[in-house]
Structure 1
Amino acid sequence: MNIQELTIELLPGEYWWGGRASDGRRMPFGDSFFSVDLASNLGGNQGCPLLISSKGRYIWSEEPFSFQFGQNRLKVTGGEGQLLSGEGRETLRGAYSYVSSTFFPPDPSIPEELLFTAPQYNLWIELLYEPTQEKVLQYAREVLAHGMPPGVIMIDDNWHEPYGSWTFHSGRFPDPGRMVRELHDMGFQVMLWVCPFVSPDSLTFRKLDRTGILLKDRNGMTAIRKWWNGYSAVLDCTNPEAVKWIHEQLDALQRDYGIDGFKLDAGDPEYYEPDDLSYVPATTRNGHCEAWAKVGLNYRLNEYRACWKLAGQPLVQRLKDKNSEWEGNGLDTLIPDGLAQGLLGYAYICPDMIGGGQYESFSADRLDPELFVRYAQCSALFPMMQFSAAPWHVLDEQHLRYCVEAAGLHARFGPEILELAKHAARTGEPIVRHMAYEFPGEGMETVQDQFMLGSSLLVAPVITKGARTRTVKFPAGTWIGDDGSVATGPAVEQIDVPLGRLPWYRKK
């Protein structure tokens, strides 16, 4: 293996971003110690072999590398891929624009428009492993009954027979075609959850094991891997025949039942080994994650949580499952991780499910209604927002009203968000942008609790329990608030944030 090393002395006042979206809270990187190996773990979310700086410098490789910040320097160690570095782009935006156009130019298409213009409804927290046809329809009816806009509805895990047998479970879904028609009539589009795993004691496994499209371990035996739902074989998506097979299964669901798209889960690098005997030999796990992500390019209505590279492609990238908590892996991570996604080249981003998608931490009897509302508000002016736990089941009338208002706000901004998505497809620019991206030289590099939606809308959600005031850092210019207030920057102002308010400001 050709090991490369690169050591860079940090410039005064220089900050860096990149690597893994799940490290957003640790960004920007600088003099404090931080180390990660992109070939060992992507933190359950998106990764990209990219580092960019506020001083217009960048590092790129086609393969994963490790990097370490500390003692006022950056050390990068590469494996198979050549380490490319450059400077002279002056700003964070300049560095990003160069690497985007050079290494991952945008595809001119975007994911399904409804993902941007209306809230999404994922049935995971509400139904867990027990989805049924009637429960899905009832959830959709209740969305409309509570004045929320119809959007994409996602039927999550266990709608199917054993993993890899992508047919509706006949007991839970006796007439899926009728269900989909009813959902379409109500204004919804329908997604199904799928993964690259195949249950080893199923008829599907016995058929596929003879075809050679399942991943082999280093001994040439069919690999059986532990994941969160047990032990399964894995499709070798570096094999064109495996990709053809999964596309045939998904295309049949679209053709036979009218399914609109798919949530393509799992695919995390840790389910593979560097010495697996795959169709295309790989020296790192990340190539398998990338191959699974490419499967979704056939479908405009898609969603991923784990992804390697493929920045600039029309794939929806959701933040990893968050806890139902204020701090740790909860509400406090949505903005910094979302900003990191954008600076890694993933424009079409979605926060995790409102209230938290990590079901072990989610309990209706311990739910904090204020947290649920602030989750909804923080998500409302992201490119997408996604409900899961039905707010009308877990909230009182007042808190429910605030969530309905947040959903309505997203729908109201939907046309503007859609235009920003189309802009991203033309230019590669993020939709959610770091303050330092839009306003270089104004001391915005360490701001993590507000963001820009496009170039003119400053959004400052509340992410602190009990807060009824917060500070907002305004760049130069005149800013008109959602409440009619006017702020003139540069300035730092304390504003009132009652529970029903999501503060946003339009640059005049």
Structure 2
Amino acid sequence: MTKHNREIRLLPGEYWWGGRAADGKSMPYGLSPFGADLAASNENNQACPLLLSSKGRYVWCEEPFSFRFEDGVLTVSGEGGDLVFGEGHGTLREAFRYVSRTFFPPVPILPEELLFSAPQYNLWIELLYEPTQEKVLAYAKRVLAHGMPPGVIMIDDNWHEPYGNWRFHSGRFPDPKRMVEELHAMGFQVMLWVCPFISPDSMAFRKLEPEGLLLQDREGKTAIRKWWNGHSAVLDCTNPKAVEWIHGQLDALQAEYGIDGFKLDAGDLEFYEPDDRSHAPATRNGHCEAWAKVGLKYRLNEYRACWKLAGQPLVQRLKDKRHEWQGNGLDSVIPDGLAQGLLGYAYTCPDMIGGGEYSSFATGRLDAELFVRYAQCSALFPMMQFSAAPWRVLNEEHLRYCVEAARLHARIGSEIVELARQATVSGEPILRHMAYEFPEEGLETVQDQFMLGGSLLVAPVVEKGARARKVAFPAGTWEGDDGSVVAGPAIREIDVPLGRLPYYRKLPI
């Protein structure tokens, strides 16, 4: 296997991005020591063997590598694949456009438009492991009763029989076809949660194991892996027959009940071992990629863990965030979202509003201001996703602000869909770093504002108690949501009462 090791001296004023989406807060690289090993962990989110520079340079490899920034030097090392270093592309944007068309050209297929044009509703926080037909319909009706637009509704874990037995649990869902018909009549599309795990004591396991469709450990025995719901076997998605089997399960749900799509969870590197035996030899990253390819058949899809596959029509959600201001909380949403885009993932979704890490809600200490700012921060992402029901956890004032955020997303929805259509051709991010759009204005370290496409500057509030914030305006004339007009380049302090999400549209010259 080819080994590679390269040292690249950083240029004056050079900044870098890439590797793992979950490291967004550490980007841009080059300011302080930082390193990561893409073969060791994807940090439960998307990862891509790509590094990009503000000076138009890049590093790419088809296989995972480790990298470190320290003392003005980028060191890249790994095994397998050809390490490609390129330069001469001038800016971050031009470097991205080159690697996109060269290494992961966009596929001209758009994921389901409703994912972009309306809020999404994931039932995880509200229902946890106890979803029922009655509860699902009740949630959907309350969405409409509170004036929120219908969108995609996701029925999360435990709607089914044992893992891998992808049939509705007859006790919790006595008439799923009628339920789906009711949801469709209300304007929703319906997604179901699935994963690559197979419960050992189940009919699916007894069918799949003798057919050789399950992952094996280094001794050739069926691998049983610990994950967040216990211990299970793992579908070997390097085997075309295993992929055919799960496609058959999902297709049957669509044909019999009218299900529209699927949330394909797990696939994280930690559930595989380097010496696992599979139908086709694969690294841990390769198994993650094989699971992600399963979803390519369905326009309505969502992933959280993914290796490579930039440019593909897969929806990529940020990893579970906590209900907190700092740490893996609201302050990480924009940096991680920007990192997703620079890794080549255009069709991105922040985590569930308020945070999707359910233990954060178990304490009963909900921060209503934080919940509102989460909703506002998400409103002008390519997608936004509710889970904890705002009408249950908030008072009338805070609920109103969340409804306003949802309606704003729906109003801008057609514009977002058009940006997504453009991404199917250009491969460019929908959610863009300020330095991506404005490379000569010293905006590389800005982490708390972003561009939606090329003309809408969004500056959410991500600090507790803030009622004013500074916004960096690039050159041009900018018209705000409040009717104000700002001539850039400039840094202005603006008022941000709790009910305001500041955004500015660049006016044509």
Q: TM-score range by the shorter chain?
A: over 0.9
Rounded Cα–Cα distance in structure 2 between residues aligned with 1:366 and 1:270 = 31
Q: Are 1:274 and 2:281 an aligned pair?
A: no
Matched residue, 1:51: 51
Q: Which amino acid aligns with 2:383?
A: M
SS at match of 2:50: strand
How far 1:234 moved relative to its partner?
Answer: 0.2
Partner in structure 2 of residue 80 of structure 1: 80
Quick check: 1:3–1:79 contact (8 Å CA) kept in 2? yes
Q: Measure the CA separation in 1 of the matches of 2:188 and 2:6.
A: 51
Q: Which whole-Å CA distance do the structure 2 matches of 1:415 and 1:2 have between them?
A: 47
Counterparts in 2 of 1:292-441, with a 5 A limit?
292-363=291-362, 365-441=364-440
Is contact 1:31-1:71 (8 Å) kept? Answer: no
Whole-angstrom CA distance in 2 between matches of 1:2 and 1:116: 42
**Structure-2 residue corresponding to 1:259:** 259
Match of 2:157 in 1: 157
Distance 1:2 1:243 in 2: 30
Q: 1:307 is aligned with what amino acid?
A: C
Per-residue displacement from partner, 1:391-436 (whole Å, max 9, x unpaired)? Answer: 0000000000000000000000000000000000010000000000
Q: 1:187-206 counterparts in 2 under 5 A?
A: 187-206=187-206
Query: Cα RMSD over matched residues?
Result: 0.6
Separation in structure 2 between the aligned mates of residue 414 and residue 317 of structure 1, nearest angstrom = 18
Q: Distance in 2 between matches of 1:97 and 1:308?
A: 20
**Structure 1 Cα separation of the partners of residues 153 and 459 of structure 2:** 28
CA contact (8 A) 1:32 1:70 kept: yes
CA distance in structure 2 between the partners assigned to 1:294 and 1:384 by the alignment: 21
Asked if 1:120 corresponds to 2:120, the answer is: yes
CA distance in 1, matches of 2:173, 2:315: 27
> Is the contact between residue 354 and residue 372 of structure 1 (CA under 8 Å) also seen in structure 2?
yes
Alpha-carbon shift at residue 202 of structure 1 (Å): 1.0
Give 1:41's aligned residue: 41
CA distance in 1, matches of 2:263, 2:364: 29
Count of residues in correspondence between the two structures: 507
Which residue does 2:138 correspond to in 1?
138
Q: Which amino acid aligns with 1:350?
A: C
Q: CA deviation at 1:31?
A: 4.0
Q: Distance in 2 between matches of 1:498 and 1:398?
A: 13
Q: What per-residue deviation string (whole Å, max 9, x for no partner) do you get for residues 419-472 of structure 1?
A: 000000010000000000000110000000000000000000000000000000
Query: For 1:365, what is the secondary structure of its paired residue?
Result: coil
d(CA) in 1 for partners of 2:332, 2:23: 9
Alpha-carbon distance in structure 1 between the residues aligned to 2:31 and 2:487? 33
CA drift at 1:364: 7.0
Question: In the alignment, is residue 449 of structure 1 matched against residue 443 of structure 2?
Answer: no
For structure 1, the 5+ residue unaligned runs are: none
User: How far is the alpha carbon of 1:201 from its aligned partner?
Assistant: 1.0
Q: Residue deviations 1:39-68, cap 9 Å, x none?
A: 010000000000010000000000000000
Match for residue 217 of structure 1? 217
The letter of the residue matching 2:451 is M
Structure 2, unmatched stretches of 5+, are none
Alignment-mate amino acid for residue 442 of structure 2: G
Aligned in 2, Cα 1:27/1:134: closer, same or farther, shift over 3 Å? same
| Residue in 2 that maps onto 1:26 | 26
The answer to whether structure 1 residue 469 and structure 2 residue 468 are counterparts is yes
SS in 2 for 1:166: coil
Per-residue CA distance 1:358-396 (angstroms, 9 max, x = gap): 001124731000000000000000000000000000000
AA aligned to 1:394 is V
TM-score, normalised by the number of residues in structure 1: 0.99
Residue type at the aligned position of 1:267: G
Answer with 59-68 or 201-210: which moved more: 201-210
Cα distance in 1, alignment partners of residues 151 and 486 from structure 2:
35
Stretches of 4+ moved more than 2 A in 1? none
Task: Tell me the SS of whatever aligns to 1:158.
Answer: coil
- What amino acid maps onto 2:109 in structure 1? S
Distance 1:203 1:88 in 2: 57
SS where residue 6 of structure 1 aligns?
strand
Between the aligned partners of 1:321 and 1:204, the Cα distance in structure 2 is 29
Provide the residue aligned with 1:101 in structure 2.
101
Structure 1 Cα separation of the partners of residues 55 and 207 of structure 2: 55
Deviations 1:139-166 (A, max 9, x none): 0000000000000000000000000000
Instruction: Provide the rounded CA distance (Å) in 1 between the counterparts of 2:354 and 2:310.
Output: 27
TM-fit CA distance, 1:28: 0.2
Q: Secondary structure at 1:141's aligned position in 2?
A: helix
Identical-residue share of aligned pairs (%): 77
Distance in 1, matches of 2:203 and 2:457, equals 54
What SS does structure 1 have at the residue aligned with 2:85?
Answer: strand
TM-superposition CA deviations, 1:72-112 (whole Å, max 9, x none)? 00000021111001000000001000000000000001100
Between the aligned partners of 2:358 and 2:388, the Cα distance in structure 1 is: 10
Measure, in 2, the Cα distance between the counterparts of 1:264 and 1:154: 11
Give the letter for the 2:436 counterpart.
Y
Q: Shift of the alpha carbon at 1:2?
A: 2.1
Does the CA-based 8 Å contact 1:159-1:169 persist in structure 2?
A: yes
